[in-house]
Amino acid sequence: MTTDAHAGATGPADLRAHLDARRGVCPVDHDGLGTWTLLRHADVVAAATDPETFSSAAGRHRAIPNSLDGAEHAAYRAVVDRYLTDAAVAEQEEQCRAHAAAIVAALPRGRTVGAIADLGAPFAVRTQTTWLGWPAELEGALVAWMADNHDATRSGDLTRTAAVAARFDELVGSLVRERREARDAAPDDVTTRLLHETVDGRPLTDAEVVSILRNWTAGDLGSLAACLGVVVHRLATHPDRQDVTRERVARGEHAAIEAAIEEVLRIDDPFVSNRRRATRDVEIGGRTVPAGDRVLLSWTAANRDPEVFGDPDAFRPEENAAANLVFGVGPHVCPGRALTLMELRVAVSELLAGTERILPADDEAPVREAPPVGGWARVPVVLK
């Protein structure tokens, strides 16, 4: 069994439970087809922080900066990082809050709503498109694309997944071409500014700009919605934590709210895995991985390793913060951590400020995502 797409939708109802069991039996899991899955925290950290042995060039396509290594990765990562500084993130908080407040205000009270479909998906699309300067009219197309992308990932059909990805690239590519053609008349937004970035003394190509924008949006749209589903489910099913969080929202304790969100995501991590490729024969976790084999870093399993966290379901934000791998570790640690946590904090804060209570729905049970996807597929709740 692995955490990648070929695990298929016939796998366990809760990926976490399966990975917890497998970690104790076979912490370096081999599927017999050339893919190894690292399930222990120490092994995942070792691989993630050794890019010379575990290369990120593990997919079929060049993805910037995700599939790059060494100096090449550093050069493109420097471009990406400029758009995700603390100051840049702070500039986006007002628009994120406005979108969250509007979505929450429009949700019905006293009857079932979907934390992912009705809150997470529109919030993710609206905040991302506003940040990038994309037209609001794209919301419907992007929400539909998110659903198609989820279905393709669950299917394990690589042809279908590639077709969905190509559709997204064409959508983004058309926006990039419009900016190029507009020249000085192009709007001054993040997408336009990317066109003027340089690497090694030359401008980024359109393909490189599209790849960066894909990295920022294709994965992040679904991930942000999934994260909100996990957090809202936690609030609805743990009234004590909901009360504490409401108090922190009222007091404006931003850091404490974000720390709590990150710990909830450690317990139920929707960022399932990342791929690497072994560049040489290497021993890890007592097993020899041959050069050229694919390696999956299972963040979900590593974040629940009892050797590091004790009871993986225990909520201990302060104690677990240093070992939390929700946003990865090493040179490919997620550059959007601050943006994601701000967006989640704002969405949760506006949801709590705009309601008296979030309750689990009586008429519909929550549904877990099918592997290889993590988190929840549906989180029905009632807002009071």
Whether the pLDDT of residue 124 is over 60: the answer is yes
Residues facing 358 on adjacent strands: 383
Whether the Cβ atoms of residue 222 and residue 374 lie closer than 8 Å to each other: no
pLDDT of residue 372: 77
- Domains identified in the chain, total number: 1
Burial of 8 (0-12, 13-18, 19+ CB in 10 A): middle
Task: With a cut of 90, say whether residue 297 has pLDDT above it.
Answer: yes
Q: Stretch 221-235: mean pLDDT, rounded?
A: 94
**Tally of CA atoms within 13 A in the half-sphere of 304 that contains its CB:** 25
How much is the average pLDDT of 263-277? 95
Mean pLDDT, rounded, for 224-250: 97
Dump pLDDT digits (tens) for 321-350: 999 999 999 999 999 999 999 999 999 999
CA-nearest of 27, 58, 21 to 42 is: 27
d(CA 381, CA 384): 10
The full DSSP string for 155-221 is: HT-HHHHHHHHHHHHHHHHHHHHHHHHHGGGS-SSHHHHHHT-EETTEEPPHHHHHHHHHHHHHHHH
Per-residue pLDDT, 88: 97
Nearest to 172 by CA among 102, 219, 104: 219
- Would you place residue 9 in the very low, low, confident or very high pLDDT band (cuts 50, 70, 90)? very low
Mean pLDDT of 67-88: 97
Average pLDDT rounded to a whole number, residues 281-304: 97
Give residue 6's pLDDT. Answer: 32
The residue type of 6 is: H
* Confidence bin at 11 (pLDDT 50/70/90): very low
Q: The whole model's pTM is what?
A: 0.92
3-state helix, strand, coil in the chain (%, to 5): 55, 10, 30
What pLDDT score was predicted for residue 25? Answer: 94
Average pLDDT of 17-29?
A: 94
Instruction: Give residue 67's pLDDT band: very low, low, confident or very high (50, 70, 90).
Output: very high
Q: Which residues span the domain enclosing 281? A: 5-383
Q: How many CA atoms lie within 13 A of 380 on its CB side?
A: 10
pLDDT above 80 for 12? no
How confident is the model at residue 4, as a pLDDT?
Answer: 35
pLDDT at 362 over 50: yes
Mean pLDDT of the 108-136 span: 95
Query: For position 2, what pLDDT does the model report?
Result: 34
CA distances from 78 to 66, 90, 193, 252, 281 (A): 13, 19, 14, 32, 31
Cβ neighbours around 33 below 10 Å, total: 9
Nearest to 208 by CA among 100, 68, 114, 335: 68
Please give the pLDDT value at position 138.
87
CATH number, domain containing residue 312: 1.10.630.10
Q: Which amino acid is at 315?
A: F
- Residue range 50-72: average pLDDT? 94
Q: What is the pLDDT of residues 372-382, one digit of tens each?
A: 788 999 999 99
pLDDT tens, position by position, 178-188: 999 999 999 99
Percent of the chain beyond pLDDT 70? 96
- The yes-or-no verdict on residue 114 having pLDDT over 70 is yes
Structure tokens at 43: 């092994």
